[in-house]
Amino acid sequence: MKKTVRSRFLRVSVLVWGALCLSGDVFADHHATTDAVDPALQSVIDGDHRSPEHRARDQYRHPAETLTWLGLNSRMTVVEITPGRGWYTEILAPYLKDNGIFYAAGYDKESDREYMKNLNKMLDEKLTSNPDVYGTPTITELAPPNRTAIAPEGSADMVLTFRNVHNWMSAGTTDSVFSAMYAALKPGGILGVIEHRGAASQRQDPHARSGYVTEEGTIQIAEKAGFKFVKKSELNANSKDTRDHPKGVWTLPPRLRLGEEDKEKYLSIGESDRMTLKFMKPAE
């Protein structure tokens, strides 16, 4: 009798596990990482080179937990895609300067847009003005579809992109950028994607004009480029974000595009709800 009950229990357990695998829930990590944060990484995050304004945003971006969950270590070759004002660059470059290699893939160097020119200048000044902190990282160029050599082919252990997918959807360059990231990675290399998360129940605007992108759509784009989806995390989730703001995601901090209008309301929401996804370039 006991043997029969045990056999039934085992059969039920196998069926439940199979259902989880088929649903994809087995890949979800709904909690903060239990991995210990490297003290050297935490030291950089706490460093005086970061402004108080930047450190104040750690509560929304969870850099120590996010980078640890993705598997970053100080010996890696890492590419950050379009660093913008360099919020994550201030963490990645110092952390990798002694034992790793860091590439910052900036915007089109020939662009006539003042916005891109200013960001490129800001990035260059940041990384060259303080070699004691940032070392000697390499600034490359991402100007799809023609200039996409963000790092030597097959050289990177990890490629990271923070809140960029909606920009590529708007520009119609999504496939080119994901192909460039795939090419830069070694077989077995990791792609980390953090992006404003759209509601799964809503149809995805192909141009992502609100700034929000669905997880399902992002996974499909990455898999189309050849990546294998590994898992997701809720580290950067924000349940207060309703995603129905008048100026899209930019209604929320830090942009606060409505200015003083309902400012306290949007400050109380905080930064956007974000997906945190981990992909791998399959080993050959």
Angle at CA 73, nearest 5°, toward 124 and 160? 50
Pair (15, 102) in one structural domain: no
Q: What is the CATH number of the domain that holds 201?
A: 3.40.50.150
Q: Residue 139 burial by CB count (10 A; 0-12/13-18/19+): exposed, middle or buried?
A: middle
Pair (114, 16) in one structural domain: no
Pair (11, 111) in one structural domain: no
Helix (H, G, I), strand (E, B) or coil at 191: strand
Nearest to 276 by CA among 207, 218, 224: 218
Element (H, E) at 189: strand 185-196
Pair (259, 149) in one structural domain: yes
pLDDT at 12: 39
Does the pLDDT at position 90 exceed 50? yes
Does the pLDDT at position 120 exceed 50? yes
Domain count, the chain: 2
Does the pLDDT at position 32 exceed 70? no
Does the pLDDT at position 26 exceed 50? no
Pair (76, 57) in one structural domain: yes
CA dist 263 and 14 (Å) reads 51
Pair (92, 213) in one structural domain: yes
pLDDT at 211: 97
Q: What's the whole-number mean pLDDT along residues 227-231?
A: 98
When mean pLDDT is compared across 58-67, 88-97, 113-122, 163-172, the lowest value belongs to: 113-122
Q: How far is CA 250 from the centre of its chain?
A: 18
Pair (143, 10) in one structural domain: no
pLDDT at 9: 38
Pair (146, 35) in one structural domain: yes
Does the pLDDT at position 15 exceed 80? no
- Name the residue range of residue 106's domain: 31-280
Return the residue matching tokens 């590994």: 230
Q: Are strands 28-29 and 101-106 parallel, antiparallel or unpaired?
A: unpaired
